[in-house]
Amino acid sequence: MIEKVDVLIIGASAAGFTAALTARKYNKNASIMVLRKEEATPVPCGIPYIFGTLFDVKKNCMPDGVLIKNNVKILTKEAKAINRDKKTVTLADNTEIGYEKLILCTGSTPVKPPIPGIDLKNVFFAQKDTDYLNDVLTRLGKVKDVVIIGGGFIGVEFADEFRKRGLNVTIVELLPRCLQLVFDEEYCIMAEEKLRERGVHVITKTRAEEIVGKEEVEKVRLSSGEEIKADIVLIGIGVRANTILAQDAGLKIGEQRGIWVNEYMQTTDENIFAAGDCAEKFSFFTGKPTGLKLASIACREARIAGVNIFGLKRKNPGVIGSFSTIIGDLGLGAAGLVEKAAKENGFDVITGQAVGMDKHPSAMPECRELKIKLIFDRKSGVVLGGEIAGGTTTAELTNIVSLMIERKMTMDEIATFQYGTHPAFTCSPVGYPIANAAEDAIVKM
């Protein structure tokens, strides 16, 4: 055995990093170790921006110095097995580490669809691996035509970054709209219009049937019969929980194939917790399992697990889902249940909408239009979700809406909530869109 630690965390991405720092804040004396198989860990949300903004994988890595400064040991070895009876983790070199409490933050892996030709050279995924991403970055310097399979957040963000490099980019999406799993149609249309304005070719309601080539990618054949030239194919159709260690250790796996956890982020073993993409999620609205996987959710769960290993204190009420992205200068955000999703979950909804400027007066530099749509439960008046389109303030406004959802605020409370404004940073106090959207819903009632 190498050693025994009080807290062992497997995985050093968003969840593992946050769990370690949280555990340290609440226990200054515990021995804490992060176990990871990579020399460096990419920031998950920043991966697309390596290719059109940062141009350097090292600029998008988690800062090890923060862990070291907080007396968290980092061990770069791969975990192969968990022995729950002995409370040990076996490593790839057959040595063992003992633990008192274990937090699994093993993350997720990209979904690999059964498309013929997927194993050809120059077919890539959004892999959280620095060597892999460096390879993609190198190859991008020698290509011209890129096909992206999947029009969700991964695909859209990669498309925008690839266009910054001057590449010919095509998105192929099976659903009727890009970003359809997150936004209502009017917001999806805004996203697609901006993509096309940026020079991205968007094809929806179409399946990628085959990736064609001898050794390397040459083209992609679509269900419509069309063939698109491709030097590189990026596949971004989602991720699945990495639960191999947990399954082999006999821990319960949930309906969405994540590691089952209770409201304290505790697995079926009282000494093992799980957080992040590997952990099963439950909806804030219905209590049912959900497939949501976001770095923001991972960090929240890690803050719960990182405290609860020293005594069960924090509870997870379920995931709301707060998303944001930017295409060119168009920011898009969504929190909670959008109108379509709310109706699908059985809610009788009423919506409120407002349009304003994100600075005031409108003559302020870089001022742009901001649109917001709030979704309320008609019976209780409680907010269920919101969608925002605007500029760089969109993400933080989306976070405000997310907090309102979690606090179960009503349309009257939102219409009269207390906010601060400033000409350079915010909408006008007279026409503050979040309050105005709530007023719009009240009037409709």
Residues catalogued as catalytic: 45
Task: Say how many residues make up the chain.
Answer: 445
Output phi, psi for 433, to 5 deg: -60, -35
Nearest to 327 by CA among 161, 109, 106: 161
What end-to-end distance do the CA atoms of the chain give, in Å? Answer: 66
- Longest CA–CA separation in the chain, Å: 68
